[in-house]
Amino acid sequence: MSSRSLRPLAYAAATALLSTGLLALAIGAGWLGPDVGRGANFCEAARGGPVRQPANSFSNLGFVVAGLLIAWRAGRPDRLGDVLPRYAGLATAYACVVVLLGPASAAMHATQSELGGRLDLLSMYLVASFAAAYALMRWTGQGRLSFWLVFGLLVAGCELVGLYDGEVPVVTYAGNLAFAALLLLAVVVEVRLRRRPGATRTDLRWGAAALGTILLAFAIWNVTKVLWCDPHSLVQGHAAWHLLGAVAAYLLFRFWASERAGDETG
């Protein structure tokens, strides 16, 4: 049994403390700008206090918890399969990205500001680009440099798509469409990796659970914008989207960590 390294957890915890602390300061000082109603279409009515949408804001703590759990597991290389440990630092980087989803999304729901909305979308770009870039790196047999180059290009591409300010059917914003497209790309490449001759083996139960969870979350995200909407309740469908999204992010990591050479699992 290998010894546990606390370095991944330390990085993720530092990311959580720094990003959450900056968000609290930004809310208090008004750094994110005025309330322009960004995120108001997700049912919850704006309150008069410093946190405009409390349920939709505090439910983002789920991402912080998921990121810390990922970091805790990343400290044990013997629990990361045969493939993920080859790319030093990527497990820790993913943990930090998942942590950042929480404060970034809360920035929008807490302030309903334009900048808060941009931070929310950026965090979504980061996690979707990570999933797509990690799948593409393994498909092409490249290394970490390739991962970071593709990752950066994908994030930049999402930002360009997000400049379109017209309404998009079903997903509302063009940035949401870019996010969904990258997740779909990641799923397609993962399936092709699985079917490739001589491929490493992954536990499909984790992959299926991650995919099923995010699809359920997306269904709730859509339905509760209009139906089953109680604007003044603290039980919000969009909060469920956050919590399920955090679960899906953790399950995706467990899928990656199950990858082994010649493993017939799943």
Report the C-alpha gap between 70 and 7 in whole angstroms.
12
Position 262 scores a pLDDT of 62
Q: How far is CA 142 from CA 84, 103, 145, 224, in A?
A: 13, 32, 8, 42
In the chain, the largest separation of any two C-alpha atoms, in whole Å, equals: 59
Position 126 scores a pLDDT of 97
Position 174 scores a pLDDT of 87
Report the C-alpha gap between 189 and 191 in whole angstroms.
5
Position 168 scores a pLDDT of 81
DSSP label at 264? -
Position 264 scores a pLDDT of 42
Whether residue 28 contacts residue 109, with contact meaning beta carbons closer than 8 Å, is answered with no
Binding residues: 109, 238, 242
Beta bridge partners of 172: 168
Position 254 scores a pLDDT of 97
Binding residues for Zn(2+): 109, 238, 242
pTM, whole model, 2 decimals? 0.93
The label of the residue with tokens 């979707």 reads 128
Closest CA to 196 of 109, 110, 147, 261: 261
pLDDT tens for the 266 residues of the chain, in order: 568 899 999 999 999 999 999 999 999 999 999 999 998 988 999 998 899 999 999 999 999 999 999 999 999 988 888 899 999 899 999 999 999 999 999 999 999 999 999 999 999 999 999 999 999 999 999 999 999 999 999 999 999 999 988 888 877 788 899 999 999 999 999 999 988 887 788 899 999 999 999 999 999 988 887 788 899 999 999 999 999 999 999 999 999 999 988 644 43
Backbone angles phi, psi at 201, to 5 degrees: -115, 140
